[in-house]
């Protein structure tokens, strides 16, 4: 029976946030990104609930978040920074040096991996990054364990003065489980930065010494019995075979072995600290077992440390080298490893509905105008809800945060080098992405004389990850007021001379602005034209209530040409195959009225318009 | 007691809310619970699924052919997610026509009640009424009272009770 008073159902990210607050974290910084987004908001919520006075912030990007948290640690206070796995690429520069210099107050970097991937541009393994950066990395298998590892990571970090990575995956971040909650430890660590230039400034002459010190720390951590893999013994009837697993792959394997009955009663080791792997364990495994199966996501990090050959895993082709290790995939691997008959093949399932911009989304209106105005244009775009513009031909590239602006410049130079004509390049970027990594690209594009149209899709939020505020909103993570930083000011400060702000719902005005911008970039004195397409995200209830609502209908003038379906892709416009005509799904239509522009037969009607 | 449930729908229908209610209801009943949810891009109107496992499980995911119960907020998803159900698994579906004993037009009922967003709770009430879920109506109502925002509590309870009272 569970103790009701202490148990709460927490998502993995909430369990991590709860752990940070309970364990005396004094500063938490993050940039939102699936599957890590809920960690920081949980820190804020639990700190408020328990009366803990810590600093929590949505930083402008992961690099800044990491640097801010590192300084708090240098001042002797427990610190955490949270991001998705590709956020660690952005924070790589401060983090890789932090292992050499070490930390003072416990420092945890949470990098949430996304095997699959479900909502990311790569499925890279942050444990491999930890190996490269020489940081210890914990690999939790459940929300509850992720919470426990927060305490272990802080203790390890302080004992060795080393930054520690906690690497949950999507299936831990977005799992819910009953987790015991306790009162937070009182915050005792006062800020106290002890100057030490040889360490905190560390010019190259100091670095060999610091590197040696780091290697020695890792050697000692690898000998700590506390981090030896945990054995769940079998029944002794299969003495020469075992499974070594980590993360959620361990959770799947553990449950699957149970379902296999006597056949599944074999030794199962859980690796909790994936790197550095417990050194004595490596010898023990080689000595005691003839057949070893390694199950881990997403790359062969444990396998690599066990040494070449001799294990069943990715190297031997027994485990797929890409994609998520789902329970179904692991079952097939286990059955083969244990010489059991394969499970019956699953029935083929249809693919689900692809995601689409919401009915009434301002991005759709902007994309429609862009594509209709420049049918031969090139459309670099970026990461956010607006990547979905690819569904109707308004997004040609999506690379990494902020890349679209550098790409816009690159496409211009590719075509225009030597004075050749160039297609109109319309770059689209979201407001949060512009703050994150768009500004250096824009300065560079202006200075290097690129010519393109940059459309900043400003929906006044970071929509896809759950509506975190941007600096322009003037609201901090804890709800307090911050000084607003305005996008138009930033655009002008980057050297841009042609700037217009238009609501894309006004398709005619927006189209006219696009044409004007095209004239500017092609004029002798032209360079970059920026349009800020401002329309608040309609998921924001207050914003939605403030806008006019039309009653939409499709008249008998509909000729069944499907233009509205193919060029606009609004989820509220359905095609009735039997009647060969389009219809409005009144359950989903929010009455924005934009679709009246897309019907070549003028069959879409908007009535009313009262807010 | 062990029970595996899938909740299937499209982004925006409230699959996550139903998942959370079921998880909280398990705690209410003093049981262990593990769930898995879909977040991110798919929430923008794409097909989403949640897994709910009540009892002593370690993996948050349900394998093919292992679910005892499926709640389908979008009938079209039957073709996508039916494979998660055991052959004898029970399916409850929000469907505007059909009339078989396991289907209910939750969307219509919710719309007539004045709030489309509670269609998920209408289907949940309908499912609880059939008596095969691990939890009863009292547990769900206790959870709704605990976790609903104040403004939505009355509507949520009404939606759930409409499902509970149907046929």
For the stretch A188-211, pLDDT in tens is 889 999 999 999 999 999 999 999
pLDDT for position A347: 75
Q: Are the beta carbons of A465 and B111 separated by less than 8 Å?
A: no
Domain membership of residue A353 (yes or no) is no
Torsion of CA A413, A415, A417, A419, to 10 degrees: -130
Domain membership of residue A142 (yes or no) is yes
Instruction: Based on DSSP, count helices (H) and strands (E) in chain A, helices before strands.
Output: 22, 23
Within 8 A of B82 by CB-CB distance, chain A residues are: 349
Are both A213 and A269 inside the same structural domain?
Answer: no
What number of residues does chain A have? 611
- Distance in angstroms (rounded) separating the CA atoms of residues A220 and A590: 61
Torsion of CA A446, A449, A455, A461, to 10 degrees: -30
- Radius of gyration of chain B, Cα coordinates, nearest whole angstrom: 14
Q: Are the beta carbons of A254 and B58 separated by less than 8 Å?
A: yes
Q: What average pLDDT does this structure show over A405-414? A: 98
- The total number of structural domains in chain A stands at 4
Instruction: Based on DSSP, count helices (H) and strands (E) in chain B, helices before strands.
Output: 6, 6
- Distance in angstroms (rounded) separating the CA atoms of residues B133 and B143: 15
Q: Which residues lie closer than 8 Å to A495 by C-beta, 6 or more apart? A: A443, A446, A447
Domain membership of residue A2 (yes or no) is no
Cβ proximity of A88 and A111 under 8 Å: yes
Q: What is the pLDDT of residues A77-104, one digit of tens each?
A: 999 999 999 999 999 999 999 999 999 9
- Radius of gyration of chain A, Cα coordinates, nearest whole angstrom: 27
Are both A152 and A60 inside the same structural domain?
Answer: yes
| A62, burial (CB in 10 Å: exposed 0-12, middle 13-18, buried 19+) | buried
- Distance in angstroms (rounded) separating the CA atoms of residues A587 and B110: 11
Cβ proximity of A43 and A21 under 8 Å: yes
Which structural domain, as residue segments, surrounds residue A425? 362-536
Q: Are the beta carbons of B23 and A350 separated by less than 8 Å?
A: no
- Say yes or no: B114 contacts chain A, CB-CB below 8 A: no
For A420, the token pair is 């050749």
Picking from A157, A116, A136, A96, the residue whose alpha carbon sits closest to that of residue A34 is A116
pLDDT bin (cut points 50, 70, 90) of residue A609 is: low
Task: Provide the whole-model pTM.
Answer: 0.96
pLDDT for position B99: 60
Burial A147-183 (b: 16+ CB within 10 A, else e): bbbbbbbbebbbebbbbbbbbbbbbbbbbbbbbbbee
Q: What average pLDDT does this structure show over A540-566? A: 94
Q: Are the beta carbons of A349 and B45 separated by less than 8 Å?
A: no
Picking from A155, A153, A167, A163, the residue whose alpha carbon sits closest to that of residue A99 is A163
Please determine, for residue A287, whether its predicted confidence score (pLDDT) is greater than 70. yes
Domain membership of residue A394 (yes or no) is yes
Compare all CA atoms of chain A with the CA of B82 and give the residue at the minimum distance.
A349
- Say yes or no: B16 contacts chain A, CB-CB below 8 A: no
Q: Which of 72-91 (B) contact A at CB < 8 A?
A: 76-77, 79-83
For A368, the token pair is 């429609």
Are both A162 and A29 inside the same structural domain?
Answer: yes
- A349 closest CB neighbour out of B27, B40, B80: B80
Q: Which of B44, B72, B85, B110 to mutate to test the interface with A (most CBs of A within 10 A)?
A: B44
Are both A394 and A482 inside the same structural domain?
Answer: yes
Within 8 A of B43 by CB-CB distance, chain A residues are: 355
Strands A175-180 and B33-36: antiparallel
pLDDT for position B98: 62
Domain membership of residue A425 (yes or no) is yes
- Distance in angstroms (rounded) separating the CA atoms of residues A56 and A39: 11
Are both A78 and A195 inside the same structural domain?
Answer: yes
Look up the CATH number of the domain holding residue B48.
3.40.920.10
Q: Å from B67 to nearest chain A CA? A: 13
- The total number of structural domains in chain B stands at 1
Q: Which of B2, B31, B64 to mutate to test the interface with A (most CBs of A within 10 A)?
A: B64
Within 8 A of B53 by CB-CB distance, chain A residues are: none
Q: What is the pLDDT of residues A567-582, one digit of tens each?
A: 999 999 999 999 999 9
What are the percentages of helix, strand and coil residues in chain A, rounded to 5?
40, 20, 40
Cβ proximity of B163 and B122 under 8 Å: yes
Picking from A350, A117, A337, A169, the residue whose alpha carbon sits closest to that of residue B78 is A350
Burial A356-367 (b: 16+ CB within 10 A, else e): bbbbbbbbbbbb
Are both A387 and A510 inside the same structural domain?
Answer: yes
pLDDT bin (cut points 50, 70, 90) of residue B45 is: confident
Q: Which of A42, A118, A350, A362 to mutate to test the interface with B (most CBs of B within 10 A)?
A: A350
- Say yes or no: A387 contacts chain B, CB-CB below 8 A: yes
Cβ proximity of B27 and A4 under 8 Å: yes
Please determine, for residue A588, whether its predicted confidence score (pLDDT) is greater than 70. yes
Sign of CA dihedral A355, A356, A358, A363: positive
Cβ proximity of A330 and A260 under 8 Å: no
Helix H, strand E, coil C: the string for B71-132 is EECCHHHHHHHHHHEEEEEEEEEECCCCCCCCEECHHHHHHHHCCHHHHHHHHHHHHHHHCC
Q: Å from B58 to nearest chain A CA? A: 5
Which structural domain, as residue segments, surrounds residue B59? 3-165
Compare all CA atoms of chain B with the CA of A357 and give the residue at the minimum distance.
B44
A74 alpha carbon, distance to own chain's centre: 27
Domain membership of residue A461 (yes or no) is yes
Instruction: Give pairs for A506-514: CB < 8 Å, separation 24+.
Output: A507/A365, A507/A368, A507/A369, A507/A594, A507/A597, A508/A597, A510/A365, A510/A366, A510/A369, A511/A369, A511/A372, A511/A373, A514/A369, A514/A370, A514/A373, A514/A374, A514/A426, A514/A453
pLDDT bin (cut points 50, 70, 90) of residue B100 is: low
Strands A581-584 and A573-576: antiparallel
Average pLDDT in chain B: 93
Q: Are the beta carbons of B45 and A254 separated by less than 8 Å?
A: no
Domain membership of residue A357 (yes or no) is no
For B120, the token pair is 């998920």
> Which residue spans within A343-451 are E strands per DSSP?
380-381, 397-398, 426-430
Strands A27-30 and A79-84: parallel
Enumerate the β-bridge partners of residue B85.
B67
Are both A18 and A124 inside the same structural domain?
Answer: yes
Q: Which residues lie closer than 8 Å to A212 by C-beta, 6 or more apart? A: none
B7 alpha carbon, distance to own chain's centre: 5
Cβ proximity of B17 and A327 under 8 Å: no
- Say yes or no: A123 contacts chain B, CB-CB below 8 A: no
pLDDT for position A611: 47
Instruction: Name the domain boundary from A221, A251, A270.
Output: A221
- Say yes or no: B32 contacts chain A, CB-CB below 8 A: yes
Are both A250 and A373 inside the same structural domain?
Answer: no
Are both A527 and A567 inside the same structural domain?
Answer: no
A420 or A140, higher pLDDT: A140
Please determine, for residue A258, whether its predicted confidence score (pLDDT) is greater than 90. yes
Q: What is the pLDDT of residues A425-452, one digit of tens each?
A: 999 999 999 999 999 999 999 999 999 9
Q: What is the pLDDT of residues A311-367, one digit of tens each?
A: 999 999 999 999 999 999 999 999 999 999 998 887 778 888 889 999 999 999 999
Are both A35 and A162 inside the same structural domain?
Answer: yes
pLDDT bin (cut points 50, 70, 90) of residue A610 is: low
Look up the CATH number of the domain holding residue A581.
3.30.70.20
Q: Which of A3, A4, A9, A538 to mutate to test the interface with B (most CBs of B within 10 A)?
A: A9
Instruction: Name the domain boundary from A501, A536, A571.
Output: A536
Domain membership of residue A603 (yes or no) is yes
Q: What is the DSSP string of A516-582?
A: HHHHHHHSTT--EEEEEEE---TTSHHHHHHS-EEEEEE-TT-----HHHHHH--TTEEEETTTTEE
Q: What average pLDDT does this structure show over B108-114? A: 90
Q: Which helix (H) or strand (E) holds A89?
A: helix A85-90
Compare all CA atoms of chain B with the CA of A248 and give the residue at the minimum distance.
B59
Q: Which helix (H) or strand (E) holds A178?
A: strand A175-180
Q: Which of B16, B19, B40 to mutate to test the interface with A (most CBs of A within 10 A)?
A: B40
Are both A47 and A16 inside the same structural domain?
Answer: yes
Instruction: Name the domain boundary from A198, A221, A244.
Output: A221
- B45 closest CB neighbour out of A252, A358, A464: A358
Within 8 A of A388 by CB-CB distance, chain B residues are: 41, 44
Are both A46 and A194 inside the same structural domain?
Answer: yes
For helices A327-337 and A247-259, what crossing angle results, to 10°? Answer: 60
Look up the CATH number of the domain holding residue A239.
3.40.50.920
Q: Å from B124 to nearest chain A CA? A: 19
Q: Which helix (H) or strand (E) holds A407?
A: helix A403-416
Q: Which residues lie closer than 8 Å to A72 by C-beta, 6 or more apart? A: A26, A27, A55, A79, A105, A191
Enumerate the β-bridge partners of residue A29.
A57, A81
Q: What percent of chain A has pLDDT over 90?
A: 92
Look up the CATH number of the domain holding residue A31.
3.40.50.970
Average pLDDT in chain A: 95
- Say yes or no: A328 contacts chain B, CB-CB below 8 A: yes
- B44 closest CB neighbour out of A171, A346, A358: A358
* Range name among A5-14, A166-175, A351-360, B94-103 with the lowest pLDDT average: B94-103
ipTM confidence: 0.94
Give residue for tokens 């997004």.
A395
Picking from A134, A183, A136, A191, the residue whose alpha carbon sits closest to that of residue A159 is A136
- Say yes or no: B50 contacts chain A, CB-CB below 8 A: no
- Say yes or no: B63 contacts chain A, CB-CB below 8 A: yes
Q: What is the pLDDT of residues A464-504, one digit of tens each?
A: 998 999 999 999 999 999 999 999 999 999 999 999 999 99
Within 8 A of A8 by CB-CB distance, chain B residues are: 27
Q: Are the beta carbons of B36 and A174 separated by less than 8 Å?
A: yes
Q: Which residues lie closer than 8 Å to A380 by C-beta, 6 or more apart? A: A396, A397, A403, A404, A405, A407, A408, A411, A425, A427, A428
The vertex-A446 CA angle with A450 and A527, nearest 5°, equals 55
- A355 closest CB neighbour out of B23, B41, B64: B41
- B44 closest CB neighbour out of A35, A326, A388: A388
């Amino acid at each position: 029976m569970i103790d009701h008073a202490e148990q709460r159902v927490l998502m993995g990210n909430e369990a991590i946030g709860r752990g940070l607050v309970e364990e005396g974290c004094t500063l938490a910084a993050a940039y939102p990104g699936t599957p890590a987004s809920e960690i920081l908001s949980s820190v804020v919520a639990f700190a408020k609930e328990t009366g803990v006075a810590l600093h929590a912030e949505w930083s402008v990007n992961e690099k800044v978040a990491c640097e801010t948290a590192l300084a708090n640690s240098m001042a002797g206070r427990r610190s955490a920074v949270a991001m998705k796995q590709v956020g660690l690429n952005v924070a790589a520069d401060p983090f890789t040096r932090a292992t050499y210099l070490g930390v003072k107050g416990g420092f945890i970097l949470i990098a949430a991996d996304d095997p699959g991937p479900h909502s990311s541009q790569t499925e890279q393994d942050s444990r491999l990054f930890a190996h490269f950066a020489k940081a210890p990395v914990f690999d939790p298998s459940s929300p509850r364990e992720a919470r426990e590892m927060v305490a272990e990571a802080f203790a390890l970090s302080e004992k060795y003065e080393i930054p520690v990575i906690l690497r949950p995956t999507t299936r831990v971040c977005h799992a819910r489980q009953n987790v015991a909650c306790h009162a937070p430890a009182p915050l005792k660590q006062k800020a106290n930065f002890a100057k030490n230039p040889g360490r905190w400034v560390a010019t190259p002459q100091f670095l060999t010494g610091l590197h040696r010190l780091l290697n020695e720390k890792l050697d000692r951590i690898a000998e700590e019995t506390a981090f030896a893999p945990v054995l769940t013994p079998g029944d002794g009837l299969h003495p020469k075979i075992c499974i070594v697993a980590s993360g959620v792959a361990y959770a799947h394997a553990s449950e699957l072995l149970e379902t296999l009955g006597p056949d599944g009663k074999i030794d199962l080791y859980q690796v909790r600290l994936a790197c550095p792997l417990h050194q004595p364990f490596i010898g023990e495994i080689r000595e005691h077992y003839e057949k070893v199966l390694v199950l881990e996501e997403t790359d062969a990090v444990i396998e690599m440390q066990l040494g070449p050959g001799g294990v069943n895993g990715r190297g031997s082709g027994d485990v797929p080298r890409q994609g998520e290790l789902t329970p179904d995939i692991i079952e097939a691997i286990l059955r083969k490893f244990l010489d059991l008959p394969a499970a019956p093949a699953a029935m083929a399932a249809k693919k689900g509905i692809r995601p689409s911009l919401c009915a009434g989304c301002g991005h759709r209106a902007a994309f429609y105008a862009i594509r209709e105005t420049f049918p031969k244009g090139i459309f670099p775009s970026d990461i956010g809800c607006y990547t979905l513009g690819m569904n109707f031909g308004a997004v040609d590239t999506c690379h990494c945060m902020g890349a679209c602006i550098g790409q816009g410049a690159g496409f211009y130079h590719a075509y225009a080098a030597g004075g050749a004509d160039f297609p109109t390049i319309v770059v689209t970027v979201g407001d949060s992405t512009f703050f994150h990594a768009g500004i250096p690209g824009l300065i560079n594009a202006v200075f290097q004389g690129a010519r393109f149209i940059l459309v900043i899709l400003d929906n006044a939020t970071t929509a896809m990850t759950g509506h975190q505020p941007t600096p322009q909103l003037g609201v901090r993570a804890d709800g307090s007021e911050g000084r607003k930083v305005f996008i138009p000011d930033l655009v002008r400060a980057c050297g841009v001379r042609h700037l217009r702000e238009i609501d894309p719902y006004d398709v005619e005005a927006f189209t006219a602005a696009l044409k004007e911008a095209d004239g500017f970039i092609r004029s002798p004195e032209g360079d970059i034209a920026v349009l800020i397409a401002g329309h608040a995200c309609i998921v924001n209830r207050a914003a939605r209530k403030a806008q006019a609502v039309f009653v939409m209908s499709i008249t008998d003038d509909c000729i069944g040409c499907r233009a509205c379906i193919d060029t606009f892709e609004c989820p509220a416009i359905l095609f009735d195959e039997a009647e060969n005509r389009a219809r409005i799904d009144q359950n989903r239509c929010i009455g924005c009225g934009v679709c009246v522009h897309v019907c070549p037969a003028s069959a879409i009607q908007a009535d009313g318009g009262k807010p | 007691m062990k029970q595996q449930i899938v909740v299937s729908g499209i982004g925006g229908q409230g699959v996550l809310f139903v998942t959370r209610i079921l998880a909280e209801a398990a705690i209410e009943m003093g049981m262990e619970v593990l769930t898995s949810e879909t977040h991110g891009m798919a929430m923008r109107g794409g097909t989403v699924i949640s897994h709910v496992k009540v009892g002593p499980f370690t993996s948050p995911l349900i394998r093919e052919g292992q679910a005892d119960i499926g709640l389908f907020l979008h009938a079209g998803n039957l073709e996508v997610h039916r494979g998660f159900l055991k052959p004898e698994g029970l399916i409850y579906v929000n469907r505007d026509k059909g009339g078989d004993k396991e289907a209910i037009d939750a969307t219509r009922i919710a719309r007539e009640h004045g709030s489309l967003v509670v269609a998920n709770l209408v289907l949940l009430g309908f499912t609880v009424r059939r008596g095969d879920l691990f939890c009863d109506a009292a547990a769900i109502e206790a959870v709704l009272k605990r976790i609903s925002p104040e403004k939505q509590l009355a509507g949520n309870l009404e939606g759930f009770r409409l499902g509970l009272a149907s046929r």
